Structure formats: structure tokens, C-alpha cells
Structure 1
């Protein structure tokens, strides 16, 4: 048991480091490949392509992990991630970059399968504690990744992608040689209808009271995608920041967010209630984004990180509020709907925010953050208008 936990937690850290490595340097790679300065549309399209493949294929891989066992699906996923980074490291043209991201999205089951694996080996009374550690491991990796990527990218543009491929190769070897299977293969046939990624969304329209909650998750997920899409572009063009500056700023953002989500949600909910805690989080993020929009010096971004961190209390408070809107028998289905909303946001948001950045970058790159403020403000208005209900039962949409 301890060996399996160590392998899973190590795999999560290495996976998060690999993801974070590429953020500071991806704009520079695209500029090098396509020989153009404005690469925002390409970043948005690459991010959306990954999300589309993930949205379509995640149900298939999840069902396969129930049928074939967790280990083989996890190994396929890790191998796909390593191939993706090798494509990015050595791609001489644009189509190979897109092919790499498509492969990564196709095989992006490592986090979900790792979660299922952890559930398999953990007694119910210890799951909350271990899932907390699980999230902490990802946070640690995502703090290290951007900083390391910025440093490596300043030495050689392709080096962060080589490092990410090596990390995923280590992940693959660790899982192959050390990780035992946690679930015996099933002989039951896979329900092909359950693989439809749009199926969970049909249930929303049978329980109208949860629609505002789903829209809130969609809004907050969409705003979160703006950072990964535009941060590196904005930092390099506003402050002429190198890879190290971008990596450090993303790392500082990760540290503050991790701390806020680990420490602040409980006290905030006790003091302000769930609705109030969400609004405090929205207000903190909007204030920080407004400062970012008008910032003229790089140090200002680090100065506002504590305010930015207040946003970390919003989503946990929303998650807590959301769980009380349906009865216990529908929690799994409701969480599936919310996961689908997050996936849809990951498809739509990068395309939208990269297009906005394409329009504003020449005159005022920081205006991108005001567009994010507008979306957050819409979410805040929706929170104020929520009519919370007692848990309701509804038939499963088939």
C-alpha cells in the first residue's frame, strides 16, 4: 500500500512538473516555428485541440480502466504524454506541434486514472486526507514546473520539452516496474452509450435548479483557462520578460493559489457563508486582474499575488455549495456534469481569449485581463441571484 501511494504521488508531481515546464516557453517555440510574432491564435487553438481530444476520449479511457484495469490505461496515457513532448521538442513545422497536442489529449487519462487508482486502494475514512495530499502533490509540481521551464528555456528553447519528455519517461518506467494493479479486469461488456461525452449534460435539463451552478462552474473554469493561454504572451510583450521571469511569476501564482486553497476556504465559509466566500474570491481576483491590466513594472505582479490568492477560496466554496443542490444518490452524476462543463470551458475559453488577445495586443496587451474581469463579474452577478434549493431527485437521462 505504501509503495503504491509513493508511486502515485510521485507520478502526480512529475506529471504536473511536465505540464508546467512548457507554459513559459510555448509562445517562443511557436514564434520560432512559424516565424511570426503574434502567436496567440495558435496557442488558443492548440489548447482547445487538447481539450477537445480529452473531452471525447476521457470517457472511453475511463471505461477501459474499469474493464482492463487501471495500470495498462495509465501506462498508455504516460506513453502518449512522452510522445507529445518529443513532438514539441523536435517539431520543425506547425502540423507536428498540433499532432503532438492531439496525441496528448487523446491519452490524457493519467490524472483521472490515478484518482481512480487512489480510490481503489484507500478506505473510505481516509479518502479525504489522501485526496488532499493528491491535490497538494499536483500543486507542488505545478509550482516547480514553470520556474524550471523558464530557466531551461533561457538556455535552449527546446530544452523544457526534452525535460518534460524525460520526466514522463521516468513516470512511465516507475509505473511499469513498480506499480501493481489495483483493480481486477472485468468481464462485463462496455456500455457504448456511456462513452458519449455529451450524455451527462442531458441530465442538467431535467433538474433546472442546478443549471445556475453548472453555468458558474463553466464561467470560473473559463476564466482559469485565460491564464494558461495568455500569461506568457502578455508577460513577454508587456515587460519584455524572459523565460525565468514568466516562470517565476507563474510559480508565485501557483504558490499563492495552493496556500489559499489549502488554508482559507474553511475559515472564509464560516465567516461569510458559501455565497459570501465565493463573492470575496471573485472580488479579490477582479482587483488583482485590474492591477495587472494597468501594470507598468514587473514587480507589481508579484506584489498583488496575495490579493490574487483570495480567488482560491471561491471554487472550493462553490464546490461545497454545489454538493447540497442534489441528493446523495445523484452526487456522482452531478459531478460528471460539472466535469463536462469544465471540459467544455477548456475548449471554448482558449479560443475566445486568444482571439481577444490577438485584437488588443498591439495597443494594450493588458486589456486581456479586463476581459477576464468582465466574465468574473458575470459570475458574481449569477452568484448574487442564486436561488438555493433543497436537494432534489430526478431520473437519470438516458
Structure 2
């Protein structure tokens, strides 16, 4: 490592581009690790309940709410900690922690140990928000939307190949994907330990760790500290809440309405993932350069609202798939939003900002499964009253329409851009 890297500094120019490459690789490996366990965790829970599907579904909700609660509590804490001691130590603790979490889940003898693993997983999953703070550190404000688009593509690509690989490994042994995820996380940690440079030099760190700000309620003070920042955070919350609809009801909805088999569902998810990666990795940069971060944010909100409405209306599977290109344009939303939000806070507050965002994501993860799962169940049970099997997806569309309306009021460039 160079002397600058050893001292916790990212050099300008080529060094900044190299630093972004390091964090992109970290995000990609992390996303693959998470994607690996998606298709097998519910079945592992079901195995612990003796094959009782209803009981497994109840436990799955408990696990989802618990994970979201840990994000809600720990996101601000770890975000502020990264502002105080640097991004690299927090990333290392998170990634090595994930390796331990996955290993605990892999060897768990019962549901209680499985729950312990998920609690630790939620506590240490700050690598996503800290990675975003790292991007803000090493990218000039005018280039952040494009960089966040690339980060989004890393997450999308990881979730594109992770579930397919996890499903194949799960057919061999339900616990095998967790061992592989633990191994990938361990390799990711070693990569960070020996390769990843620090992005936040000592002179740009916050001077003290304030516990009054290192909690979900305290983090709201930061969101109120700059004009329109709280409104932008509200757009992010509405987006994250709407996003939970597909993980909650996609399998049940497409099976009920279109009679799709698991293999068809997998192909549909893959097609959606490919379209999302293309938008985030290829289109975000030139489109943001042309229409700006505000335009990208509004385009993403409008496309998401229209895409969800299309999915809820589509009377056939073929028409459902025709909506994929529209829905994929929602990939402009987060790069535009992150670009606008990171411009409004100082370098030593980027971690706190991302921690606050992750806390809001935790709330969305707790509320979303109940909101969309119950509304989908109601629409099926009362089909004779309201012929709307896509009710839950319409609700997601409404949330993004609300985000679009809010965006027209608060999505504007700040009067003064924080120096990066």
C-alpha cells in the first residue's frame, strides 16, 4: 500500500477511481452473499417447523421484522461510528461479522439459534450504508449519481446471480448456501483488510462520538438540519417501503394469477434483474448528465409508479413481462436521490446520513411485509367484492406516486454544496 493509503487517505485522480473500484467489488461480493440465502432461508425455517408451511410463514415474518428492527437501531450507530473512526474499520467489522452470522445460521440446531444468526446479521449489515458513505467520500458531487448507479448495479447483479446459485446449492443441501455465503464474506473481509484503502482521512472525521445522535431519533435531527433533506429522506422511505412488495407477494401473486412455475418465476426475476443492471450501469451516467439529479429522481419515481401499476393490472403473464422495461427505469431514482442528499451534508456527516437512511429502511422492512402481505391476502379472500388481485402492487404504485409529488417540491439542488 502507498503511504497515503496507510495514513487513511485516498489520493486524488486515479487513486479515487481505484478506491471506487475497491468498494464496488466489496458491494458486489456482499450482494452475492445475501442473494445466495434468499431462496433457501424460508425452506430451512420450514424444515425446523416439521414441514408446517403456516408456522414457517409466521416465523418468516418474525425473522423479517427482527432483521428490520436491528437495521433501524444499529444503522445510525454504525453510520456515525464510521464518521468518527473511518469507513474501513466499520466495513471490516460488518463484513467479518456477516461471515460469522452466516456460519451460525449454517450450523444452527434449532429456530432460536437461527434467530440469533438473523439478529447478528441485521446488526452487522451496515456495509451497504457505509459503502454509500465511502462512495460519497471518493466521488466529487457532480459524479455521485453515476457512482451510486454503479453501486446499485452491483447490488442488482449480486441478487441476480446469488439466488440462482443459492437455489442450485440448496437442492444439494439446505445449509450449503450459508456455508458458501460465509466463505464469500470471509474472503470479502480479507480483501478489505489487505486491499481496501480508507476513504475518510483523520482531518475530515467528526471530532467526537455523540450518543445522542447515534440512535434513530437522534439521526432525524440531521435530516432536519438542511433544507429539503427530510423531504428527500421521505422519498427514500416511500421507495424502500414500495420495494418490499415484490419480495412479499411476487411468488404468491404470479403463481395465483398466471399459474407460473418456480422456473418461470426465476426467469422473470432474471429478466427484471438484467434490465435493472443495464439501467443502473449503462444509462444512469449519461441520462443524469443530461437531465440532472432532480430529473433522474422524478423519472425514477414516475417509472416506478407506472411499472407497479402495470404489474398490478396485467391480465396475463406475457403482459406482465412487457412492463419490465418500464419498471427498470425506476433504477434512476436512488442515484438521483443519493446525489441530492449527499450534497447537503459535510464530509464528516456522510456516514450519519447513510445510517439515518438505513434506519428508515429498517422501518420499511418491518412495515412492508405486513402491509402488502395482508392486503394481498384480503384481495384474494374477497375476490367477489373487489376483482383486484393486484391490490398490494397498486398500493406500491400509490406510494411511488406520492414520492413523485413530494419530489416535485423538495428535489432541487442545494443552495450551498458541502465540500467533498
- State the TM-score bracket (shorter-chain normalisation): 0.7 to 0.9
Question: Relative to structure 1, is the Cα distance of residues 177 and 187 closer, same or farther in structure 2, using a 3 angstrom cutoff?
Answer: same
What's the CA shift for 1:16?
0.7
* Mapped contact 1:41–1:355 kept (Cα < 8 A): no
What's the CA shift for 1:190?
1.4
- Residue matched to 2:311: 288
- Distance in 1, matches of 2:146 and 2:413, equals 26
Matched, 1:9 2:28: no
Map 1:60-209 onto structure 2 (within 5 A): 60-121=77-138, 130-183=147-200, 188-202=207-221
Cα deviation, 1:179-224, whole Å, max 9, x if unaligned, reads 3444566794311212122123356679897776554432221110
- Residue matched to 1:345: 364
TM-score calculated relative to the size of structure 1: 0.77
Q: Which of 274, 295, 301 matches 1:278?
A: 301
Number of residue equivalences:
384
- Distance in 2, matches of 1:23 and 1:384, equals 33
* Higher mean C-alpha deviation, range 162-171 or range 92-101: 92-101
3-state DSSP of counterpart to 1:198: helix
- Distance in 1, matches of 2:134 and 2:335, equals 23
Matched, 1:30 2:49: no
What's the CA shift for 1:75?
1.9
Q: Which of 69, 81, 86 matches 1:52?
A: 69
* Mapped contact 1:74–1:109 kept (Cα < 8 A): yes
Q: Which of 253, 256, 266 matches 2:275?
A: 256
Unaligned runs of 5+ in 1: 394-398
- Distance in 2, matches of 1:171 and 1:379, equals 34
Q: Which of 213, 220, 245 matches 2:239?
A: 220
TM-score calculated relative to the size of structure 2: 0.74
- Distance in 2, matches of 1:316 and 1:175, equals 24
- Distance in 2, matches of 1:46 and 1:150, equals 20
* Mapped contact 1:150–1:246 kept (Cα < 8 A): no
Unaligned runs of 5+ in 2: 1-14, 416-420
Cα deviation, 1:300-341, whole Å, max 9, x if unaligned, reads 654542243243345556667x669x9788996887765544
- Distance in 2, matches of 1:387 and 1:113, equals 28
- Residue matched to 1:396: none
What's the CA shift for 1:17?
0.6
- Distance in 2, matches of 1:386 and 1:115, equals 21
* Higher mean C-alpha deviation, range 275-284 or range 250-259: 275-284
Question: Relative to structure 1, is the Cα distance of residues 377 and 122 closer, same or farther in structure 2, using a 3 angstrom cutoff?
Answer: closer
- Residue matched to 1:43: 60
* Higher mean C-alpha deviation, range 51-60 or range 328-337: 328-337
- Distance in 2, matches of 1:62 and 1:323, equals 15
* Higher mean C-alpha deviation, range 183-192 or range 33-42: 183-192
What's the CA shift for 1:249?
3.1
3-state DSSP of counterpart to 1:195: coil
* Mapped contact 1:147–1:248 kept (Cα < 8 A): no
Question: Relative to structure 1, is the Cα distance of residues 112 and 279 closer, same or farther in structure 2, using a 3 angstrom cutoff?
Answer: closer
Matched, 1:374 2:395: yes
Alignment RMSD = 4.2
Matched, 1:230 2:253: no
* Mapped contact 1:21–1:146 kept (Cα < 8 A): yes
- Distance in 2, matches of 1:335 and 1:64, equals 11
